[in-house]
Structure 1
Amino acid sequence: MTLTEAPAPRLVRPYQHYVYAYPHKTAYRPLRREEASLRALWAQEPKGALSLYFHIPFCEVRCGFCNLFTRIGAPDGLTTAYLDALERQAAAVREALGEGARFANAAFGGGTPTFLEAAELERLCDLAEQGLGADLTAVPLSVEASPATATTDRLAVLAERGTTRLSLGVQSFVDAEARTAVRPQRRADVEAALGRIRAAAIPLLNIDLIYGIDGQTERSWRHSLDAALAWRPEELYLYPLYVRPLTGLGRHRDRAPGQGEAEWDEQRLRLYRHGRDHLLAHGYEQVSMRMFRRADAPATGGEDYACQTDGMVGLGCGARSYTSALHYSFDYAVDMHRIRGIVDDYTARGTEDFRHADFGWWTDAEEARRRHLLQSLLQAGGMPVVDYTARFGTSPTDDFATELGRFADRGWLDDSAGPGLLRLSPEGLAHSDALGPELFSAAVRERMAAYELK
């Protein structure tokens, strides 16, 4: 069996698409209610090591680069109505999962989960534990936060309820760069938030930083890196800046900030390499193009969870869920007006409305192979060939001969890894956002291209 695509153009832009899930939501389409009963979808699924995700679609501001599903602020009563809807959805999902469902990890994302007040965060944790049966103190729990919402009372709740990882979106410690990225914050406020997080004694701190901001130089980038390193975070994520349609930056620019596309690509590659080398020199290990972990960081458990095969249960209007046959979610939008409408629709739903999937992508054996290769190869450790063969009964070098041959020709594969391991070279990792999209199937490409932005 050979799963190949037409050769890609010879000249490849390094920053095309951030592949954090496959396929992207823009490939999802409306589902017929009769074919998407949650009870039927989950009936034959392995449920011993599920991932649990709660999506909170609120932020105090929306950054200029953000194309995530989130709205600014919440009118009086909206967060309560949203938590009420989450409770109804949790009841429907627990019923669909049936007996024997166990969770290997949990995450609260968004949006900004810490937009919720302390008492609301308590209720969110109760929904996970009492509503779905997840023991948050026994599994890794990751929570996203912003400096303004990382308050002492909220952090106390999260620490008490078992949070093992707190991810803080900083993006830049240079105030002028933060303003350019339309992220209004002061470094003094960021430092104060980091102090509160460390005082809360949550085991693992992650700091998000962005490179490629207009006017950013190696010197200013290093300034942000060193400011982050001063807190000895267990993890650091380095994200390239993207300017996406319907975002704040996208509405005001028709090309990369302040320069041509090729120049911007070169700036981002240069800053990426500088940041990568700087972190490696300071005792961090590279996990993926974006993720770096301190070599002596403590383990937080959940290492047996395999994103390639284990399912995900997502609750909230922006959450995804994964079964072996269907990836599903609610409607997707970037435009603020459309997002508000989707949030309002979600909060008005009754329990019965949550017993089926709304939008999704039916997967098949070919897509499962692509997803497995994507999610494994984009990790710095690479993919053991034996794992792929044990799952699918075929060889990845046969199934993806054309793509892997192309990657090898570009120097993106590590020749020293040996025949039993498919692993990216340092330059391959640097081009993850080009390599990943080349593994998309023709069907996914067609769906994504036909998606109407909203």
Structure 2
Amino acid sequence: MNAPATAPAVTPAADEAPAGPRPYSQYVYAYPHKTAYRRLDPRPALRDLWAGEPKDALSLYLHIPFCEVRCGFCNLFTRIGAPEGLTGAYLDALDRQATAVREALGDEPVRFATAAFGGGTPTFLTAAELERLCDIAERRTGADLRAVPLSVEASPATATADRLAVLAERGATRLSLGVQSFVDSEARAAVRPQRRADVEAALGRIREARIPVLNIDLIYGIDGQTERTWRESLDAALAWHPEEIYLYPLYVRPLTGLGRLGADADAAWDRQRLALYRLGRDHLRERGYEQRSMRMFRRADAPATGDEDYACQTDGMIGLGCGARSYTRALHYSFDYAVDMREIRAIVDDWTTRPAEDFGYAEYGRAIDADEARRRHLLQSMLQADGMDRADYRARFGAGPEEHFPGELARFAARGWLDASAPAAGLLRLSEEGLAHSDALGPELFSPAVRAAMAAYDLK
């Protein structure tokens, strides 16, 4: 198989070539990235970390590190398959961790505003195991899954009727299905063995389960993909009237299946991905979808699923599971992290056998000082299509964003990445071209310390 960077199937005109930094540097879904975390010595007690933290609008995330296969582009913390008894032992450990974490939060009331099951593939678990997962979330942490938005990730092969029935009954409001491509040859090129007929059958089961929001993930930039086949995947997804569609550029990362083929990004692949992104963006907009970020498109008439009381920039997160991260105002923390399959297996096996007392401490993490807090807020606000409220930023941090980030914002403006009309509305907002270059803009806001820590990280 040719690596995706070697044979772009879309050749835009020369005047469409990317200007300035390359458009696909890094997908910024959390800041700081886990590769900037380091072992904490001594390990801080969770009770101390959470003392005095606001607990009235927390996010709850449960991580299931299992998949039936590993896609060629995937660098998630997940292992393939599970020996007999491992998923049960993992849930036993998750139960111990959830109990320890809830005790560490203290006696004061705790309210969860959102919940999510991610991975890996949470629906790798059987229907009975999913029931137990929901029980752990509710009985150990106190979360009411039927009263808050609950998002669950799934794959076509594991979106079975019995599993979906459990999730629907326990309050799932959003089901995200990783499809990536409806074209069988492209799925194979991405090292994602699946047949379109099986994907369509899974989508039918999801709609029959009546979970309010269906999200379909698609990827552009796959080897052999053309404008015609990209439209084919888009239209196949649209036929199911999903409430959300996410469009992801393909990345080739170290230690992944595609990464081991020696592929690397080049200018031609950058042009291909930008051309397909713009095609997909315009195609969805013309069919009634609103762009919420570079990746997220939401049907204009889709039901609301968010909690207006929760803000990902500032509110805390409780992560349960060996690959989950947790956020306090002063520290982001997790357990060990890896991409290599052997390393992941070792971490999962170790985590699954831990005694309850081990779960009362943070082991890996990164301190969040005032500068990092400002960067995180700016990143997670600016990368949304609505932009950032300037007055809210000033109230939180005592000055305007231009005073804290004059050089960065000046560069973004010079490149045409900022919406010049937004200040009149009290906003700092990306232009259409800025949104298209989110994966170049985001990393430019990383602090020098985080950059250095990420560069020094020993990949494993």
1:345 to 341, 350, 372: 350
Residue 150 of structure 2: aligned partner: 141
1:13 to 18, 22, 37: 22
1:30-50 per-residue CA deviation (whole Å, 9 max, x = no partner) reads 00235x110000011000000
Say whether residues 1:205 and 2:214 are aligned partners.
Answer: yes
Residue 174 of structure 1: aligned partner: 183
1:234-313 matched pairs, under 5 angstroms: 234-256=243-265, 261-313=266-318
1:101, distance to aligned residue in structure 2 (A)? 1.1
3-state SS of paired residue (1:86)? helix
Cα distance in 1 for partners of 2:94, 2:251 equals 31
Residue 110 of structure 1: aligned partner: 119
Say whether residues 1:54 and 2:62 are aligned partners.
Answer: yes
Say whether residues 1:27 and 2:36 are aligned partners.
Answer: yes
Cα distance in 1 for partners of 2:453, 2:273 equals 29
Say whether residues 1:71 and 2:79 are aligned partners.
Answer: yes
Residue 365 of structure 1: aligned partner: 370
State the one-letter code of the partner of 2:25. Answer: Q
1:304, distance to aligned residue in structure 2 (A)? 2.2
Cα distance in 1 for partners of 2:358, 2:368 equals 24
Cα distance in 2 for partners of 1:149, 1:262 equals 37
Say whether residues 1:163 and 2:172 are aligned partners.
Answer: yes
Say whether residues 1:412 and 2:412 are aligned partners.
Answer: no
Quote the sequence identity (%). Answer: 79
State the one-letter code of the partner of 1:398. Answer: E
Cα gap change, 1:412 to 1:301, in 2 (>3 Å)? closer
1:331-368 per-residue CA deviation (whole Å, 9 max, x = no partner) reads 01000000000000100101100000010000100000
2:93 to 65, 85, 92: 85
Residue 3 of structure 2: aligned partner: none
TM-score, length basis structure 1: 0.96
Say whether residues 1:214 and 2:223 are aligned partners.
Answer: yes
1:370-449 matched pairs, under 5 angstroms: 370-419=375-424, 420-449=426-455
RMSD over aligned CA atoms reads 0.8
Cα distance in 2 for partners of 1:221, 1:441 equals 36
Cα distance in 1 for partners of 2:308, 2:247 equals 22
3-state SS of paired residue (1:170)? strand
3-state SS of paired residue (1:169)? strand
1:67-87 per-residue CA deviation (whole Å, 9 max, x = no partner) reads 000000000000000000000
1:417, distance to aligned residue in structure 2 (A)? 1.2
1:226-237 matched pairs, under 5 angstroms: 226-237=235-246
1:249-275 per-residue CA deviation (whole Å, 9 max, x = no partner) reads 00012324xxxx000000000000000
Contact conserved, 1:370 with 1:439, CA < 8 A, in 2?
A: yes
State the one-letter code of the partner of 1:148. Answer: A
Say whether residues 1:45 and 2:60 are aligned partners.
Answer: no
Bigger Cα displacement from structure 2, 333-342 vs 93-102: 93-102
2:200 to 172, 191, 196: 191
1:398-440 per-residue CA deviation (whole Å, 9 max, x = no partner) reads 1111100000000000011124210000000000000000000
1:100, distance to aligned residue in structure 2 (A)? 1.1
2:109 to 93, 96, 100: 100
Contact conserved, 1:33 with 1:356, CA < 8 A, in 2?
A: no
Contact conserved, 1:33 with 1:357, CA < 8 A, in 2?
A: no
State the one-letter code of the partner of 1:421. Answer: L
3-state SS of paired residue (2:63)? strand
State the one-letter code of the partner of 1:427. Answer: E
1:305, distance to aligned residue in structure 2 (A)? 0.8
Cα distance in 2 for partners of 1:418, 1:391 equals 18
1:268-327 per-residue CA deviation (whole Å, 9 max, x = no partner) reads 000000000000000000000000000000112413210011000000010000000000
Cα distance in 2 for partners of 1:375, 1:331 equals 24
3-state SS of paired residue (1:33)? coil
Cα distance in 2 for partners of 1:254, 1:243 equals 7
Question: After the TM superposition, which parts of structure 1 deviate over 3 Å for at least 4 consecutive aligned residues?
Answer: none
Cα distance in 1 for partners of 2:313, 2:306 equals 18
Cα distance in 1 for partners of 2:213, 2:408 equals 37
Residue 317 of structure 1: aligned partner: 322
Cα distance in 2 for partners of 1:25, 1:441 equals 14
TM-score, length basis structure 2: 0.95
Cα distance in 1 for partners of 2:238, 2:309 equals 29
Contact conserved, 1:207 with 1:233, CA < 8 A, in 2?
A: yes
3-state SS of paired residue (1:238)? strand
Cα distance in 1 for partners of 2:434, 2:263 equals 28
State the one-letter code of the partner of 2:271. Answer: E
Cα distance in 1 for partners of 2:73, 2:396 equals 38
Cα distance in 1 for partners of 2:89, 2:337 equals 20
State the one-letter code of the partner of 2:67. Answer: C
Cα distance in 1 for partners of 2:402, 2:91 equals 47
Structure 1 residue ranges without an equivalent (≥5): 1-9
3-state SS of paired residue (2:440)? helix
State the one-letter code of the partner of 2:162. Answer: D
State the one-letter code of the partner of 1:347. Answer: T
Cα distance in 2 for partners of 1:372, 1:105 equals 19
